[in-house]
Amino acid sequence: MAGFKIIYDRDACIGAAACAALDPERFEMNDDGKADLLKGKEDKPGLWILKIEELGEAQEAAESCPVDAIKIEEL
């Protein structure tokens, strides 16, 4: 199956908000100052996963993160 997986390390997030600015469909800033991966599932404590069919702006969001908290894998 074609598609991609976003892997988001929420513990690593420093709240720079670049991801939410670039890909607001997938990332939103939470009141605790960190980003949430919208519709993501917590795979392990602090590690969130979302499978997507289209990359959209997710690549830009991943590249913009100053602490590399967002990874994209091709499925």
- Residues in contact with ligand SF4 by the rule CB under 6 A: 13-19, 27, 34-35, 64-67, 69-70
Considering beta carbons, is residue 59 or 64 the nearer one to ligand SF4? 64
| Cα–Cα distance, 60 to 43 (Å, whole number) | 23
Burial 25-62 (b: 16+ CB within 10 A, else e): ebbebeeeebbbbeebeeeeeebbebebeebebbeebb
Closer CB to ligand SF4, residue 1 or residue 44?
A: 44
Nearer to ligand SF4, 1 or 66 (CB): 66
Q: How far is the CB of 37 from ligand SF4 (least distance, A)?
A: 9
